[in-house]
Amino acid sequence: MKIILKVLKRIGQVIGVLILIIIVAGLSLRIFGPDPHEPKGKLVTIDDFKLHIHADGKRNHKPTLVIEGGAGVATENYYWLNEGLKDTMRVIRYDRAGIGYSEASDTPRDPETIARELHTLLEKTGESGPYILVGHSLGGPYISVFSQLYPDEVAGMFFLDATHPKRVEKMKLPEKSSLKFKSIIWMYDALAILGDLGIVSLYDRTFGPILKMEGLPDEINDRMPDFLMNGKLIQTASREMEYYHETLQRAGEVKSYGALPIRVFTAIEMDNEAYRKAGIDPDKRLQKTIQMNEKLANLSTNGRQILIDGNHNSIYTKKENAAIINKEIIQLLGELGYE
C-alpha cells in the first residue's frame, strides 16, 4: 500500500510540474509573444468601450451593406463578401463588443442591446440607411431584431446559414435551465480562464491554427491568432450564449416581414461522420434545416431560399461561394431601382 501511495504521489508531482510549466509557458507567450496586428478598420468609442468598424467602398445613393457576424466570428472572416462588393456599394463590417479587435463591455449581450450598439456605431461614424443587413449564424437573429427596432432603415436582409428562431425546439437542443446547457457555459468560462493564462494561445500556436478558415487568404488567416491571445473572445462567446434562448425567442417574434426582400442561404455540406457519431441522421438533419430556412424565407412575400454547396463557414469564406451571395446582393440592388 505504501508503495502505491508513493507512486501516486510521484505521479501527482509530475502532473503538477507539467501544469506549472504549461502555465508559465502560456503567461510567457502573453507577455513576450508577438504583438497583434493593427486593426484594418478603426476603433470607435461607444459609451465606455470601443468597437472595431471596417468601412469600405464609397458612400453613394445605394443602400449600405452591414455585416453582422456569427458567434465569436471576427469581421476579417467576411473578406470575400467585402472584396466582391466594395466597388459597387458601401460595405460595413464590424466586431461586436469582445469579438475581434473590439473591446469587451459590461453591457448585457441581449439582442436589443447589440442592435442598439450597432446603430449607435453607425451613427457615430456618419453612416446612414437604408441598410441591407447580412447576418451569419447567430448574426441572423441579431439583424432580425435590428430590423424590428429600426424598420425604416432596412431595405433588405440576407441570412447566411443563420440560426433559426425555432432551432432549440425543432432540433431538440438543451433548454436554458438544463444541466447540459449550463455545462456548456461552464466549459466556455473555463476555456476563458485558460485563455487569460495564455494556454489557449499556446495550444493554437503549437497545434493550430484553431480559427483558420477554409478559402480565406493567408494574410487574413494570419490574423486569427490575435483573437486568442487572451480569454476575451471566449468569454464573450459565453456571455452571448447565456442569452441564446432569449435571442432566438426575440427574433421569433416576427410573424411577417411583409414585402421586405429576404434571401436565405442554406449550407448543404455537412460533417456526416460527426453527426453519425452523435447519433444524428445527417440527411434528416439537413432536410429539417432546409425546411426551417424555407419557412424563414416565406416570412416575406419577397423571400427566397438559395442552397449553397458549402458548410456553415465555407459558404462565405470560399471565394466562389461568396460570389454567389454577392451576385444576389447586386441583383437585389437592381430590383430596388439602384443601378
CATH number at residue 138: 3.40.50.1820
Q: Would 261 be classed as within a structural domain?
A: yes
Q: Would 72 be classed as within a structural domain?
A: yes
What pLDDT band is residue 17 in, cutting at 50, 70 and 90?
A: confident
Q: Looking at the predicted structure, is the pLDDT value of residue 2 above 80?
A: no
Q: Would 161 be classed as within a structural domain?
A: yes
309-329: average pLDDT: 96
Q: Would 329 be classed as within a structural domain?
A: yes
What pLDDT band is residue 137 in, cutting at 50, 70 and 90?
A: very high
Strands, sheet with 131-136, edge to edge from the N-terminal-most edge strand: 42-46, 49-56, 91-95, 64-68, 131-136, 154-160, 262-267, 303-308
In 3D space, the residue among 99, 86, 75 whose CA is nearest the CA of residue 220 turns out to be 75
| Prediction pTM value | 0.92
Q: Would 26 be classed as within a structural domain?
A: no
93 vs 73, 86, 119, 302, CA distance in Å?
Answer: 11, 11, 13, 25
Cβ-based neighbour number of residue 138 at 10 Å: 26
Min mean pLDDT across 25-34, 218-227, 308-317 is at 25-34
Name every residue whose Cβ is closer than 8 Å to that of residue 286 and which is 6 or more positions away in sequence. 268, 270
245-273: average pLDDT: 93
Q: Would 71 be classed as within a structural domain?
A: yes
Contact 176, 244 (CB under 8 A): yes
Q: What is the mean pLDDT of the chain?
A: 92
What's the rounded Cα separation, in Å, for the pair 112 and 148?
A: 10
Cβ-based neighbour number of residue 140 at 10 Å: 28
Q: Would 217 be classed as within a structural domain?
A: yes
Domain count, the chain: 1
In this prediction, what percent of the chain has a pLDDT beyond 70?
99
**Enclosing domain of residue 210:** 42-187+194-335
pLDDT of 205-256, one tens digit each? Answer: 888 889 999 999 999 999 999 999 999 999 999 999 999 999 999 999 999 9
Res 1: pLDDT = 65
pLDDT of 77-119, one tens digit each? Answer: 999 999 999 999 999 999 999 999 999 999 999 999 999 999 9
